[in-house]
Structure formats: C-alpha cells, structure tokens
Chain A
Amino acid sequence: MTDTSNAPDAIRRSGRWVFVTGVTLLCLWVLVPIYLLMVNALSAPAEVTAFPKRFWPSFDTASLEFFFGFRGVVDALWNSVKVAAVTMVLAIGLGAPAGYALSRFDFPGKEAFRFLVIMTRAFPLPLLALPLAVMFIRTGLDDTILGLALVHATLALPFAVLITFSLFSGIPLELEEAAWTLGCTRVQAFIKVVLPLAAPGIAASAVFAFVISWNEVFAAAVLTIENRTLTAFLLQSLDVSPLHLKFAGGAALVIPALLFIFAVRKYLFAMWGIANR
C-alpha cells in the first residue's frame, strides 16, 4: 500500500485517494445532518431561531430543559419505551419458536407459513391501524400500550421470524443430535446447547424489533390519543410547537437509534443474509 516510485503505483495511489475521498464524503453525508440537529438541540432557544446560525453548539441545555419540562413529553417518552418493550417481547416470543420450527423441521404447511410471512412484506402494515382502531374501541384496547404494541408487533414479527430462522439455521443440527445421544431431551438440548449459541443473535433481533416500534409514526398517531408515544406526540404538535422543541424532540428520537444500531452492528448483516429469502 505504501510502495513508491513506479508508474502503476502512482495510478493506484491516486485511485486510492479518490476512493478514500468517496468514502469520506459518504460518511459525511450520513453524519453531518445528525451533527447539525445536535447543534440545534444543544443550543439555547434564542440561538435556534437566530440567523445566521453558528455551526457549533453553545452547549446551552435550555432547549433540552424546555423539551423535558414540556407537558406530556416525559410521559410520551416513557410510553414509547413501554410500547417498544412489549413489542419486543411479543415479536421474539412469537417469532423465535416459528423461526426455530422453520429451520429444524420439514413438514406440510411450511411453505404456506413462509408465504404468509413473506406476504406481509408486500403490505404497508401501518395501515392496519385504521380498522383496528374500531376493533380496539370495542375490546377496550383503544389508546393503550398493549393495543399499539400489538400493531407494532405485526410489523416486527415477520422480521423476527426470518431473522431467528437464519440464526437457528446457522447452528449445526449435529450439536443438538450430540446432546440427544448424551441423554438430553429435546427441550434440554435446546436450552443447554442451542439457546446459549443463539442468545446474542436473538438479543440483536429483539433490539431490531424495539427500533421498529420506537420509530413507528402512523399507527402510533392513529391509535393513541391520551397515551401518545414520542413520535405521535411530536407529529401531532408539529404545526404548533416552536422550533427548539421540534429539534430537541428529534434529538431524543435519534440518540437511542444511534445506540441501538451500535448494539446490533455485528449482527446486522448476518441477520439480513438469510432473511433475504
């Protein structure tokens, strides 16, 4: 790489330079807008609406304090966490057994189930919230954490099935068979052999389900009135809220996202490799 002196190397080096510039530009394309949002979130309200803007934050927490002090914000934030947590439990609790069944057994009806799961991809799922709003009023699930989590779980479940399917497929059946011959029952073998190997991946897909719920706007806005999630809260106050409230809210949405993706970064690509099919 650091070789010098002859012509092909010079070309390679200039090619390398173009390559590095390209990668840097792509990274900046992703990072700079986030940085600018953070500048706004970490500046005083007066600076957020001032003109021209400075390109570095003044580290004044007044905007954030205003945001967290704003009526309903803390509740909305907490609702978002609760809905996402319930979604996560539902998606993995229902999805992982299905993923395991798909990876380990051949049985009639397997293709039909896979078709059902793949089909969900062709549908804009947040629209489910429209008819469910009525159904939920009848069953008393309207405007509840569980009601919204059920819809979000429909969004996350297909992913959970496909991702856990790919995870379990990556664990050799021979390991389980060895455990059976050593006297383990099917359940014991699963708990002692398969689960420890799959656990980190399952945790990653759980985080993924969390993110799907955390970010969902449409269903949350349709299904909640009093118990709004943060996204629904921000959406419904878009027209009326001052800029610094919007930007602090944006930052509150973005920062967890950064952490979630960081937490699952190792699994992101492995998860999608087989989930493609």
Chain B
Amino acid sequence: MARFGGLRRRLLALARPRGPESLPVRFDRRRIYVLPTRFGLFFAALLAAMSVGGLNYNNNPALLMAFLLAGAAMSSLVSAQLQLSGLSVVAVDAEPVHAGRTLHLRVHTRTTDRRVRSGLKVDFDDGDTVPLALRDGTGEVVLDVATHHRGWLDIPRLRVQTTWPLGLARAWSYVWPETPVLVYPRPEALAPPLPIGSGDPAARRLHAAGDDVHHLRNYRAGDSRRAIAWKPSARRGTLLVREFEQPIGTDIDLDWRELHGLPHEVRVARLARWVEDAERDGRRYRLWLPGQPPLGPERGPAHRHACLRALALMPHG
C-alpha cells in the first residue's frame, strides 16, 4: 500500500472538490465516486471465474447464478451511490480549544428527499470513521481533529462514505469546508502568578491585605472555589461567596510590553495562561497587545474568548 501512496495522493488530489468551498454542499453525481472495495474486487473475480467457466461448458445454471449475482452487485453499486446522492453538508462548527487539545468538529447534514439512507460514515482521509445516522432528514457527527498551532485551522477535506448495501463497493464524496476554525494558543505550562493589579497605591495595598470582606452573597455558577466562605456557608446551610471590595485599581493589566525579553511565542503562551488564571479567579483584566486598543477591563466568557481570539491571531513572530 505504501508503495502506491504517492500515486494514491496524486489521484486523490484530482478528486472533486479540489479546494475549500463554502457550505452548504449538496452531493450530486459529479462529486460522488463509486469504486469496488477490496472484497468487491474479490467478488468480481469470483463472478468472472464463474462466467468464464459457465460459458466454456455452456453451463446455464452456473451462468444464471453468476449473472444474478452480477445483477445484484450492479444494483448495489447504484444503491450505494444513491445513499449519498441528495445529501447535503450544511455546516461545520466547533468550540475553539487550546492548541494541543482535540477539537470536536461537528458536521451537520441534511437530506431533502425522503429516501432512507444507511451505513453512512464520515471521516477525514485517514482518520477514524464515525457513523452518521440521519433522523427525520438531519444528522450530525462529531469528528476529532488534533490541533498543534494557534491561529486559524483549515479543516481538512472531509469524506462521507458508505459501503452499503452489500459491502462490494464504496461510494464516497468529499466536502472541503471553507469555514476555518480558530485554535487558541497553548497556555504556558509553568507560568509565574498573575501580575499585581494596577491602579492607585492605596487600593493596591488594600488588595494586598487580601481579605477586606465587603459582604457575603449567594453562590453563583462560575464563582471561583477559592472565593467560597466555607464557615459561614456551613452555618447558614447554603453556599456563600465572599465578595471583595474591588476598586477599579485592582484590575489586572496583562500587558504584552511588560513581557519584553521573552521569546514571541512564550509571550503569547504566558498571556493565554494569565487570561485563564484571571478568569478562574474571577478577576477583571485588561489585555494589551501591540498595535491594538486594549481589551477590557472585563471578565466573563465573552471577554475570555475575545482575548484568546486576539492572542490566537497575533502574527507569528
């Protein structure tokens, strides 16, 4: 197989589509390929042997059986093509992840006609196959994509295939979504703690004392575990969270410029780590990147995504 790798790659490069395309994509006969599987070739050889033998001896039962099987095989080829024909890939999407994590790419498919489709599978050219079941004309599969680098990830060519109904032929079609998916930078593994918040010195000292409790409030989803006041919680029988007085000055400034001296990618990684840390601690933070207005101060998922996105899109140094 390896010897034919080059040839195979060249042939695959000829297959439609030859470049990324915008979704939705509907499979029609111009982009559905049907070729016998290895078992299909074996089966064809078997039928050829039977037919030649039958013709030679003018053995009509043998010929009849060989031709019936050939007819069935032929109709299975047509049938395999029809499993795909009329199927559309309407969208792909994924939650962004940090580089190095697995991206879960969702592929949404739909059919317009009422034909029953069976045995569909989706994969990348050499990845794990995932079965695709259609219910009421729509179906969704999740494919795992390994990520290595931050920035836009071009989704490789997807393949939707089936060997249904007899396993003699594989019908497949490629779809190459143009939709790029963003991969966030890999956070630095052993990063120094968050920088001290900026603002007026008094406020800074106040924050340094660390436990100037303003009041307690009820726990809300997303609150940091560190902020939970365990003793009052135990007394009241409900989870309470310490809310610190947070003067403007205690916002954290995550500044690209302050990290001079570090290599470019380490700076990106460290800022990514700090964004995650600040978010975990429930602190407000502002991200300064070169050539851009500062982001924030703010906190919450939207801000986190905005910051990580900006970091992911930093030009590669």
Bound pair (A, B): no
Interface residues of A (CB under 8 A from B): none
Interface residues of B (CB under 8 A from A): none
